[in-house]
Amino acid sequence: MSSTVRYLQEVFGLLEEYEFRGQRQVVVPREKLFELLKFLKETCGFDMLVDVTCVDYLTYPCPPRWGRFGLVYNLLATETGERLIVRTFCDVETAVVPSVVPLWEAANWLEREVWDMFGIRFEGHPDLRRILLPEEFTDHPLRKDYPLQGKGERHNLPVITRAEG
Amino acid sequence: MPLYRADFVGNLAHDEPQEYLWTMNLGPQHPATHTTLRLVLKLEGERVVDAMPDIGYLHSGFEKLGEHLNYNQYVVVTDRMNYCSCVANNVAWHLAVEKLLGIDVPPRCQYLRVIVTELARIADHLVCNAAVGLDAGAFTFFMYAFNPREQIYRILEALCGARFTNSYTRVGGVMYDASPTAISLIREFVRTFPRALNDMEQLLNRNRIFIDRTKGIGVLTKEEAINRGVTGPIARASGVTRDLRKDEPYLAYRDFDFDICCATGGDCYARYLVRMAEMRESLKIVQQAVENLPTGPVNVDVGLRVTLPEKPQVFGTIEGLIQHFEILMWNRGFQTPWGEVYSAIEAPNGELGFYIVGDGTDRAYRARCRPPSFIHFALFPHLIRGHRLSDVVAVLGSLNIIAAELDR
Amino acid sequence: MALAGLPNNVLITKLEALVNWCRKNSLWPMPFATACCGIELMALGASRYDVARFGAEVFRFSPRQCDLMIVAGRVVMKMMPVLQRIWQQMHEPKWCISMGACASTGGVFDTYSVVQGIDRFIPVDIYVPGCPPRPEQLIQAILDLQAKIEREGTLFGREFDDPRRNLPPWALVEEPGNRPPPLESK
């Protein structure tokens, strides 16, 4: 495992790699993300993409220096049972990352969900639409500057009384 | 068997409507969708050319809520996630929190959690197979499957007071220790359930109509299953020999003797059979766990400052009282490290994982849930393409989509 | 008296009472099951609780055949137009049971997408507390609804004469002084 990480360090110039509670995470610059994931899938045997998600570090006490949004790619090698978490960062202005749908079909809906909830665009995604919220929704609710109760969208609907049927 | 249009390349659901295609809307309120999901089907006669799922009709902001409730409060919300197997979600959530905190629960608690998770697995598989049967026209099977579920509800009610949405676990333990009544109810269930299961298998396993409706329908190959991130019984029905209980043993699963049920067909019938077989294995685990239940505390030591002290201590000693308030007061609580963990369990539906970001307080900074239903429903257009309209419900039932987990 | 000459097998009653008696004992529920409460609704229909004892076992998924909508589970903003449309497709007379805390008030889900009580948007007759309610509670709700149907004649739609019925339910209780007097029994 550590030899893989050392190799990644040399080839892709990892920003950081660390281990917490037995889980290894590597941080990679956004430009190198697709290459790295492709390498991991094709050479290192990480054939399953378990999860794609994002964390908004706007109000975090010690925000990471690479950007506001931290994307999380959770990989698994089904043969060996190894897990690896790949991180990459971006900001509101540069919220575009390459899509990994060409590598794993599983990323299709997961990336749509990240777009829906955080407003991060995935370049090269075949069908990047909102998935959970209605199309006419304008905000991205899991961003930290969006209030829990929303901005009144939930009650912006017509009322039907008894007499109307 | 699947009938693809070999000459067509492209995505029919999004391209211009063509004359020979019909568009049919299924859902969001339809008996065969079980809860709330919508499908837009493109039909050529009765053959489904493409399906376009539309979800989000039950999106309730679970993950946003997780950032505002503390680790013990949020367990109530996880109950409502996969409501066919509530306790499994509780266990998954608190295992993730305990991984973040770096604590291990005592053996008795581990065994109790194993028991409730396996009971939840049985309940979930029962309702899933009942739904498959119901959609394929076997209403009696539905009645047979719901009877043992009531027994499981009674056990859970004896364990924690709630029949359906249990919220049984707490950080560092469980809410109540198992009472003798609960233990005897579990023993009774272990004794009576095999007979109910035999009845159910005799009813449907070799039923000609059921086999015709499910065999060869919605085939998923092993490579596709891995590429599409499929886990749980659906992946095992396609030949992926992976089960987190064996591969990454959590809780006390190392102590038990059980098998992983796999099939190679990858169709709806194989999924049904895998679920049926898994119930037997789960029952084996429950039996072993309840017979070898260790004695001892069910919560971690109060010195770790994550669990509430015992009531006599709270009422009788000043230290106990202070500790009780320290944990309950809104500005104290317990402290978490600044770190991020991903922890997953083998939930009835597949790998149910939580990705938690801790920021020092007793609330998660981010509580991401990796929902198996969400991943599995993304499969649906792929599975149904080329089949008949009546196969839609069979495939949908065999995927066991729980809308609350799908949309969260 | 003309009635004195009637044979023994004739019963004299008011038409409205007879119709209401028929209606209350043959409710056809339309299960609008969105979430967890839906499973308890299934348990209500299954063998142990057997709602057929109260004449309400004919679950129909087509709104045009039903006269009782049971909203089981939380309703979110994307689902609300669907719920309203289904409610409008049902024929008069019709009733609505809001099952569970989420449908009645939003429950634990005070979030950006969950409607905080379906009675903000459609009329509701009976609220069932609980998260989720036990099937026994739902049976009680059906019995309460039967009592209400018996009390409140809808044969000629007289309850719509009251202008307050045109207001949404929550408008009536926003101010304490605005509370309507109890319905007089007929």
pLDDT at A154: 82
3-state SS class at B81: coil
pLDDT at C158: 65
Contact of B149 with B125, CB cutoff 8 Å? no
Domain of residue C65, CATH code: 3.40.50.12280
Does some domain include residue B14? no
- For β-strands A23-27 and B338-347, DSSP reports them as unpaired
Whether A8 shows a pLDDT value over 80: the answer reads: no
Domain assignment of residue C109, given as a range: 25-139+160-178
CA dihedral C64, C69, C75, C80 (to 10 degrees): 40
Chain B residues lying within 8 Å of C131, measured CB to CB: 165
Mutate to test the interface with C, among B60, B75, B129 (most CBs of C within 10 A): B60
- For β-strands B173-174 and B169-170, DSSP reports them as antiparallel
Contact C84 A160 (CB under 8 A): yes
pLDDT at C163: 67
Q: Whole-angstrom Cα distance, residue B180 to residue B53?
A: 48
Q: Whole-angstrom Cα distance, residue B283 to residue B152?
A: 12
- For residues B190 and B306, which has the higher predicted lDDT (pLDDT)? B190
Q: Which helix (H) or strand (E) holds C39?
A: helix C36-45
**Tally of domains within chain B:** 1
Percent of chain A residues past pLDDT 90, beyond the cut = 22
Does some domain include residue C15? no
Could you report the per-residue pLDDT of A56-85, keeping only the tens digit for each? 999 888 888 888 899 999 999 888 888 899
- Whether A113 and chain B come into contact, CB under 8 Å, resolves to yes
pLDDT at A4: 74
Contacts of residue B28, defined as CB under 8 A and 6 or more positions apart, other chains included, come to B36, B37, B38, B54, B57, C79, C82
* CA angle centred on B229, ends B226 and B234, rounded to 5°: 80
Chain B residues lying within 8 Å of A56, measured CB to CB: 366
Percent of chain B residues past pLDDT 90, beyond the cut = 29
Could you report the per-residue pLDDT of B170-188, keeping only the tens digit for each? 888 888 888 899 999 999 9
- Whether A150 and chain C come into contact, CB under 8 Å, resolves to yes
pLDDT at B12: 54
Helices (H), ranges, B80-221 = 86-101, 107-135, 139-160, 180-204, 208-214
Taking each continuous run of H as one helix and of E as one strand, the counts in chain C are: 6, 4
For A132, name the nearest residue in chain C, comparing CA atoms only.
C78
Contacts of residue A155, defined as CB under 8 A and 6 or more positions apart, other chains included, come to C115, C116, C120
Does some domain include residue C39? yes
Q: Whole-angstrom Cα distance, residue B40 to residue A76?
A: 33
pLDDT at C2: 62
Domain of residue B200, CATH code: 1.10.645.10
The whole-model pTM stands at 0.88
- Whether B339 and chain A come into contact, CB under 8 Å, resolves to yes
Q: Give the pLDDT mean for B227-248.
A: 90
Query: Which pLDDT band holds residue B286 (cuts at 50, 70, 90)?
Result: very high
Per-domain residue ranges for chain A? Answer: 2-155
For chains B and C, count residue pairs whose Cβ atoms are closer than 8 Å: 86
Does some domain include residue B1? no
Q: How far apart are the first and last CA of chain B?
A: 36
- For residues B241 and B334, which has the higher predicted lDDT (pLDDT)? B241
Does some domain include residue B281? yes
Q: Give the pLDDT mean for B69-98.
A: 89
For B379, name the nearest residue in chain A, comparing CA atoms only.
A106
- For β-strands C68-72 and C29-33, DSSP reports them as parallel
Contact C78 A134 (CB under 8 A): yes
**Tally of domains within chain C:** 1
Does some domain include residue B13? no
pLDDT at B6: 47
The alpha carbon dihedral of B25, B30, B34, B35 has a sign of: positive
Does some domain include residue B220? yes
- Whether A131 and chain C come into contact, CB under 8 Å, resolves to no
Does some domain include residue C133? yes
Does some domain include residue B49? no
Contact A51 B366 (CB under 8 A): no
- Closest Cβ opposite residue C34 in set B36, B79, B84: B36
Q: Give the pLDDT mean for C14-40.
A: 86
Which chains have at least 3 CB atom pairs separated by less than 8 Å from chain B?
A, C
Whether A42 shows a pLDDT value over 60: the answer reads: yes
Could you report the per-residue pLDDT of A112-135, keeping only the tens digit for each? 999 999 989 998 888 888 888 888
Could you report the per-residue pLDDT of B86-135, keeping only the tens digit for each? 899 999 999 999 999 888 899 999 999 999 999 999 999 998 898 888 88
pLDDT at C186: 42
Whether C103 shows a pLDDT value over 70: the answer reads: yes
Q: How far is residue B329 from each of residues A39, A51, B335, C95, C120, measured CA to CA in Å?
A: 49, 35, 13, 45, 35
Chain B residues lying within 8 Å of C109, measured CB to CB: 60-61, 65, 77
Domain assignment of residue B254, given as a range: 62-301+331-407
pLDDT at A72: 92
- For residues C164 and A14, which has the higher predicted lDDT (pLDDT)? A14
Mutate to test the interface with B, among C39, C48, C110 (most CBs of B within 10 A): C39
Chain B residues lying within 8 Å of A126, measured CB to CB: 11
Could you give the ipTM of this predicted complex? 0.91
Q: Give the pLDDT mean for B62-80.
A: 89
Which chains have at least 3 CB atom pairs separated by less than 8 Å from chain C?
A, B
Q: Give the pLDDT mean for B43-70.
A: 88
Whether C152 shows a pLDDT value over 80: the answer reads: no
pLDDT at B16: 53
Contact B228 A105 (CB under 8 A): yes
CATH code for the domain defined by A2-155: 3.30.460.80
The B residues from 176 to 205 touching A (CB cutoff 8 Å) are none
Contact of B335 with B362, CB cutoff 8 Å? yes
Which chains have at least 3 CB atom pairs separated by less than 8 Å from chain A?
B, C
- Closest Cβ opposite residue B58 in set C34, C39, C86: C34
